[in-house]
C-alpha cells in the first residue's frame, strides 16, 4: 500500500496510480485508447477532464500514472465496477470514472464529493402531434380567464344599465337605441358582447356610458387578438410532450423498461419501484438505448429507460430531438472519485472539487464539450415543451384592473352628475314656490279671469303661453 503525506510543506510531488474503467459503452465519460506510437494509454472523457481540473486546483503537485481496468458488466462477470474498487489500495491509489457513490461501496472505500448531477430519471419518446378535440376552441384561454371575461361583461352591462336609466326619450332619436328600448336585465350580458362584435357609435346617450363602452372595446380588441394568435399556434405548431405514462401504467400493463448493464438502477427498479425483474432489459450503450426505444415494448424493445441523469444527458445530446426526461427524480448521489478507506487525500480532492464545480464557465465548457449544453438548459427546454399553451387570467390581470377602475370611476362621475342635477332642481323648486313672499302669492280674481281670456285669445291665434 502506498503511504501518502498531504502536508504541502513536507512533500514535493505525489505519485498516484489512477485506475480508470475501460468499457465499450458511454465513452463520453471515460474513453481509454491505446497509443501504439507512444506506447501508453490515452484517457479522455468528461470524468477525466473534471479530474484534471481538480488536480490543477490542488495545493500540491501530483504525478499521475494511468492504469485501465477492463469492465465486463455481463451477468456472472467478476470484472465489475465493484471489483475495480476492491483493487484499492493494492493496485490503485485513486479510481476515476463514472463511479456512482453508493452506501455499500462506502463501507470499504472513500468517496469525494459528487461532481455530477444527482438522481435517476425516466427517458421516454416524445409525442409529436396536435391533440385536437371538438372543444379545442376554448383551449387558447384557461378557465379562470373565461370566467373573468364573463364577469367583466356582466359588470359592464350592469353599469351601462344604471347610467342610462334616467335618459329621457329624445325626439328624432334612433328608435332602435338601447335607451329608447329601456335597457333591461336581459341586455346586461348580451349588450357588451354585441358591441364587441358590431360596435355602434350612437348606441348610448351619456358620455360616461360611451367612455365605458370605449374601455370595453379596447379590452375586447386585445382579448380577441390574443385568442386568435394562440388558437392559430395550437392548430398549426407541432406540440411536443412526453409520453403520458406513469409508473403504475408501466407496471400494470406489463411494459418492458430498460436500464444500463451492471448499474445499481436495477436494484432501484426491483426493490423500491416494485418492477417485475422479468420486465427489465439491460443495455450497454447509447445506441442500444436508441434501438430499444425505437422498437418499443411490443416490438422487442422497451417503452422507457431508467438511468442516472448524466447518462441520460449524454443520450439526449445525440438523440434529444425525439426523447425527453419525464417523471419524478429518484435520488442518487452522483459520481465521485474513489480513494482508499480513511485516505487523507479525500478531503483535499473534495475541496478542489468545490472550487471546480463553483466555476460556472469551466464546468459549462466541459459539459458543452461532451453533452452539447448544460443541465439547466435541458431542464428549461423540458418545461417549455410540456407547458400548457392556454393563456391565464394572470396574463391580462393588469388590463382587467385598469378596466375595472375605469368602469367604477365612470359610474361614480355619472351618479355625481345625476345627484347634482337633482339637487339643482330641488333648490329651484324651493326658491320658486316655497320661498316667495305672501304678497306675491296673492292674485286678484279679475287678474286671473283676464289672464285666462288673454290665453284663450292667443290660442285662437295659434299659440299657447
| Three-class SS state of 83 | helix
Phi, psi of 96 (to 5 degrees): -120, 130
Does the pLDDT of residue 394 top 70, yes or no? yes
Q: What is the pLDDT of residues 8-27, one digit of tens each?
A: 445 568 899 999 999 888 88
User: pTM for the whole thing?
Assistant: 0.60
> 70 has which bridge partners?
22
Does the pLDDT of residue 449 top 60, yes or no? no
Q: Which of 325, 321, 292 is nearest to 307 (CA)?
A: 325
Does the pLDDT of residue 169 top 80, yes or no? no
Per-chain mean pLDDT for the chain = 78
Question: Which residue numbers belong to the known binding site?
Answer: 100, 105, 263, 308
Per-residue pLDDT, averaged over 105-110, amounts to 94
Are 353 and 115 in contact by the 8 Å Cβ rule? The answer is yes
Does the pLDDT of residue 378 top 80, yes or no? no
Spell out the long-range contacts of 175-181 with Cβ–Cβ below 8 A and sequence spacing 24 or more: 177/202, 177/203, 177/204, 177/205, 178/203, 178/204, 179/204, 179/205
Grid look-up 279671469 returns: 449
pLDDT at 437: 53
Grid look-up 424493445 returns: 301
Per-residue pLDDT, averaged over 69-79, amounts to 72
Higher pLDDT residue, 96 or 373?
Answer: 96
pLDDT at 11: 54
pLDDT at 459: 41
Torsion sign (Cα): 264, 270, 275, 279: positive
Report which secondary-structure segment, H or E, holds 441. helix 438-441
Are 315 and 26 in contact by the 8 Å Cβ rule? The answer is no
180: confidence class by pLDDT, cuts 50, 70, 90 = very low
Does the pLDDT of residue 292 top 80, yes or no? yes
Q: Tell me what percent of the residues of the chain surpass a pLDDT of 70.
A: 72
Higher pLDDT residue, 238 or 321?
Answer: 321
pLDDT at 167: 59
* CA 324 to centroid of chain Cα atoms: 15
Does the pLDDT of residue 355 top 90, yes or no? yes
Does the pLDDT of residue 239 top 60, yes or no? no
Domains and CATH numbers, the chain: 13-116 (3.40.190.10), 122-129+239-332 (3.40.190.10), 137-234+392-411 (no CATH)
Here the cell at position 3 is 503511504
Higher pLDDT residue, 184 or 271?
Answer: 271
Q: What is the pLDDT of residues 308-351, one digit of tens each?
A: 998 998 888 888 777 888 888 888 889 999 999 999 999 999 99
| Three-class SS state of 425 | helix
pLDDT at 435: 61
Burial of 87: CB neighbours in 10 Å, binned 0-12, 13-18, 19+: middle
Angle at 206 between CA 202 and CA 208, to 5 degrees: 115
Question: Which residue numbers belong to the known binding site for L-glutamate?
Answer: 100, 105, 263, 308
> 241 has which bridge partners?
127
pLDDT at 242: 57
Amino acid at each position: 500500500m502506498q503511504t501518502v503525506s498531504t502536508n504541502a510543506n513536507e512533500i514535493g510531488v505525489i505519485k498516484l496510480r489512477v485506475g480508470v474503467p475501460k468499457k465499450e459503452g458511454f465513452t463520453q465519460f471515460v474513453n481509454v485508447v491505446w497509443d501504439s506510437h507512444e506506447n501508453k494509454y490515452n484517457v479522455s472523457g468528461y470524468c477525466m477532464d473534471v479530474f484534471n481540473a481538480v488536480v490543477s486546483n490542488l495545493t500540491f503537485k501530483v504525478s499521475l500514472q494511468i492504469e485501465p481496468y477492463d469492465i465486463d458488466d455481463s451477468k456472472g462477470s467478476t470484472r465489475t465496477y465493484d471489483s475495480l474498487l476492491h483493487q484499492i489500495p493494492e493496485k490503485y491509489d485513486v479510481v476515476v470514472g463514472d463511479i456512482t457513490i453508493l452506501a455499500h461501496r462506502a463501507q470499504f472505500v472513500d468517496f469525494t464529493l459528487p461532481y455530477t448531477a444527482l438522481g435517476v430519471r425516466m427517458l421516454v419518446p416524445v409525442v409529436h402531434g396536435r391533440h385536437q378535440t371538438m372543444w379545442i376552441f376554448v383551449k387558447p384561454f384557461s378557465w379562470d380567464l373565461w370566467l373573468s371575461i364573463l364577469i367583466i361583461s356582466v359588470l359592464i352591462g350592469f353599469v351601462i344599465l344604471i347610467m342610462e336609466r334616467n335618459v329621457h326619450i329624445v325626439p328624432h332619436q334612433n328608435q332602435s337605441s338601447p335607451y329608447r328600448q329601456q335597457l333591461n336585465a336581459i341586455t346586461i350580458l348580451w349588450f357588451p358582447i354585441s358591441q364587441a362584435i358590431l360596435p355602434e357609435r350612437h348606441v348610448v346617450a351619456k358620455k360616461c356610458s360611451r367612455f365605458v363602452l370605449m374601455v370595453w372595446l379596447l379590452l375586447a380588441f386585445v382579448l380577441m387578438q390574443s385568442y386568435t394568435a394562440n388558437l392559430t399556434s395550437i392548430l398549426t405548431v407541432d406540440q411536443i410532450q412526453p409520453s403520458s405514462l406513469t409508473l403504475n401504467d408501466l407496471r400494470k400493463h406489463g411494459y418492458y423498461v430498460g436500464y444500463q448493464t451492471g448499474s445499481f438502477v436495477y436494484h432501484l427498479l426491483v426493490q423500491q419501484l416494485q418492477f417485475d425483474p422479468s420486465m427489465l432489459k439491460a443495455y450497454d450503450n447509447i445506441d442500444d438505448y436508441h434501438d430499444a426505444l425505437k422498437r418499443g415494448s411490443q416490438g422487442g424493445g422497451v417503452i422507457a429507460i431508467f438511468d442516472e441523469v448524466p447518462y441520460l444527458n449524454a443520450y439526449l445530446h445525440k438523440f434529444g430531438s425525439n426523447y425527453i426526461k419525464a417523471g419524478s427524480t429518484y435520488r442518487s448521489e452522483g459520481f465521485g472519485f474513489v480513494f482508499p478507506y480513511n485516505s487523507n487525500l479525500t478531503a483535499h480532492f473534495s475541496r478542489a472539487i468545490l472550487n471546480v464545480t463553483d466555476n460556472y464557465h469551466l464546468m459549462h465548457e466541459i459539459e458543452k464539450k461532451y453533452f452539447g449544453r448544460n443541465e439547466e438548459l435541458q431542464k428549461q427546454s423540458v418545461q417549455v415543451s410540456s407547458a400548457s399553451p392556454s393563456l391565464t387570467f394572470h396574463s391580462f390581470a393588469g388590463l382587467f384592473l385598469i378596466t375595472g377602475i375605469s368602469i367604477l370611476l365612470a359610474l361614480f362621475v355619472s351618479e355625481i352628475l345625476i345627484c347634482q342635477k337633482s339637487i339643482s332642481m330641488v333648490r329651484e323648486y324651493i326658491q320658486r314656490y316655497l320661498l316667495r313672499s305672501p304678497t306675491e302669492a296673492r292674485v286678484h280674481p279679475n287678474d286671473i279671469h283676464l289672464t285666462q281670456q288673454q290665453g284663450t285669445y292667443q290660442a285662437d291665434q295659434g299659440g299657447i303661453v
